[in-house]
């Protein structure tokens, strides 16, 4: 085992995080009210170019709030990409509704718009688009389908802070968008989430739902059954400091991805997510895919890289293959996402990586791949 260890992700607190957190402690505003919550929401709305940004306790909660704002209920169906983190489908299940899984398009791994209309039924209520690993989904194509069939459209932008689609920011491309600020994201609060929207009514409903259903004009009057999904002022303070450094973080991620592209281009046995001309990805994670469809070889490569001190992650299991969702999916194959999941490896991608780190990782990837003739 190598004495050197490079994790796949880590938070980088390079701004005013400590200053703002200490200000919270000194002021005693450490719970779900305080100036940093207001500043974080206002600043994030400006960052995304939306009228509203509403902070909440994590990205999964953000998805749940978004779907509840559309009154999703048992018997409803929501179109969901099969290749994403499980939270996307779980939020649908929390509402008693059914996720209907769609295969990926092969270049970016995002939901394939060409496959959606065949899956729409009278029970379909909406579509969730995920910007996988920071590359935007084809939102214009998805928006056209949603408009044609009178469906809501939600962006799961948990991995895509600052990504651009045809010059527009992720978070401003749908009815409502959701973000995560988990510790491994480009911008982090440790734990935290955000919703963005231009719809005043949706924003008001989300605000009501996340605060136990308490009327904002009548204290301790609860007009609906709500949820305690609020973010703390301390977490918002960290989030604001991160947001102030957003362009730096995005530039660091772009630098790292460029380094991997440069240093791994001679590896004939792999490919990676292909950036589309209409997108400027946020580059949350660099992921490469083996051209040889061999999951056991992929796993062996990951084990050997760990022995060299390089932590990796596999691509997400397709959701339709997981036990909670397998029974309802039937036997419909989703071959593209299944292959991407069997062959994909995430490499370390976080703002604190040095050029030497990138060269070290790339050297060991190249060395291990050569042993497998990949």
Residues 166 and 253 reside in one and the same domain: no
Q: Name residues whose C-beta falls within 8 Å of residue 111's C-beta, 6 or more positions apart in sequence.
A: 79, 80, 81, 102, 104, 105, 129, 130, 137, 142
Hey, CA dihedral for 323, 324, 330, 334, is it positive or negative? negative
84, 315 contact by CB (below 8 A): no
In a domain, 194, yes or no: yes
Residues 307 and 161 reside in one and the same domain: no
Residue 1 pLDDT:
67
Residue 329 pLDDT:
74
Query: Is the pLDDT score of 203 beyond 80?
Result: yes
The pLDDT confidence band at residue 347, using thresholds 50, 70 and 90, is very high
What CATH number is given to the structural domain containing 160? 3.40.640.10
The pLDDT confidence band at residue 237, using thresholds 50, 70 and 90, is very high
In a domain, 294, yes or no: yes
Residues 83 and 192 reside in one and the same domain: yes
**3-state per-residue secondary structure call for 73-98:** CCCCEEEEECCCCCHHHHHHHHCCCE
Domain range enclosing 308: 246-371
Instruction: Summarize pLDDT for 254-284 with one digit per residue, the tens.
Output: 999 999 999 999 999 999 999 999 999 999 9
Residues 347 and 252 reside in one and the same domain: yes
Residues 96 and 238 reside in one and the same domain: yes
The pLDDT confidence band at residue 332, using thresholds 50, 70 and 90, is confident
Residues 228 and 343 reside in one and the same domain: no
Residues of the chain above pLDDT 90, percent: 95
Q: Please state the pTM of the whole predicted model.
A: 0.96
Number of folded domains that form the chain = 2
Distance spanning both ends of the chain, measured CA to CA? 23
Distance in angstroms (rounded) separating the CA atoms of residues 194 and 164: 18
**Which of 228, 244, 260 is at the close of a domain?**
244
Residue 373 pLDDT:
84
Residues 152 and 45 reside in one and the same domain: yes
Instruction: Summarize pLDDT for 279-324 with one digit per residue, the tens.
Output: 999 999 999 999 999 999 999 999 999 999 999 999 999 999 999 9
**Average pLDDT taken over every residue of the chain:** 97
Residues 300 and 169 reside in one and the same domain: no
Residues 118 and 212 reside in one and the same domain: yes
**Helical segments of the chain, H only:** 17-27, 35-48, 59-69, 87-94, 139-148, 200-210, 233-244, 246-264, 295-307, 326-329, 335-343, 355-371
In a domain, 32, yes or no: yes
Residue whose C-alpha is closest to residue 365's, from 302, 294, 316: 302
In a domain, 3, yes or no: no
């Amino acid at each position: 085992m190598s004495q050197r260890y490079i994790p796949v992700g880590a938070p980088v607190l390079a701004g005013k995080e400590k200053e703002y957190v200490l200000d919270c402690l000194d002021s005693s505003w450490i719970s779900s009210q305080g100036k940093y919550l207001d500043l974080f929401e206002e600043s994030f709305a400006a960052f995304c170019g939306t009228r509203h940004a509403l902070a909440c306790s994590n990205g999964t909660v953000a998805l749940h709030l978004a779907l509840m704002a559309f009154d999703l209920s048992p018997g409803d169906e929501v179109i969901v990409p099969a290749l994403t983190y499980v939270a996307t489908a779980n939020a649908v299940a929390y509402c008693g509704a059914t996720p209907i899984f769609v295969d990926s398009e092969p270049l970016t791994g995002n939901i394939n718009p060409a496959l959606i209309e065949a899956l729409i039924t009278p029970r379909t209520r909406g579509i969730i688009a995920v910007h996988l690993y920071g590359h935007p989904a084809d939102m214009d194509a998805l928006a056209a389908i949603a408009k044609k069939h009178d469906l809501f459209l939600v962006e799961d932008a948990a991995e895509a802070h600052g990504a651009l689609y045809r010059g527009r920011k992720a978070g401003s491309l749908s009815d409502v968008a959701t973000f995560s600020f988990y510790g491994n994201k480009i911008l982090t609060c440790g734990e935290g989430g955000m919703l963005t929207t231009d719809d005043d009514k949706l924003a008001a409903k989300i605000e009501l739902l996340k605060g136990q259903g308490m009327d904002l004009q009548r204290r301790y009057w609860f007009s609906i059954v709500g949820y305690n999904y609020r973010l703390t002022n301390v977490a918002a303070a960290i989030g604001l400091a991160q947001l102030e450094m957003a362009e730096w973080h995005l530039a660091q991620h772009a630098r790292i991805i460029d380094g991997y592209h440069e240093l791994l281009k001679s590896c004939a046995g792999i490919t990676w997510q292909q950036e589309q001309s209409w997108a400027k990805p946020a580059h949350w994670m660099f992921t490469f895919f083996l051209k040889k469809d061999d999951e056991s070889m992929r796993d062996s490569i990951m084990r050997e890289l760990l022995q060299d001190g390089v932590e990796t992650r596999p691509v997400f299991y397709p959701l339709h293959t997981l036990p909670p969702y397998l029974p309802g999916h039937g036997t419909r194959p989703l071959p593209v996402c299944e292959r991407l999941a069997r062959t994909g490896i995430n490499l370390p991608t976080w703002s604190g990586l040095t050029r030497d780190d990138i060269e070290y990782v790339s050297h060991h990837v190249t060395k291990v791949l050569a042993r497998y003739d990949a």
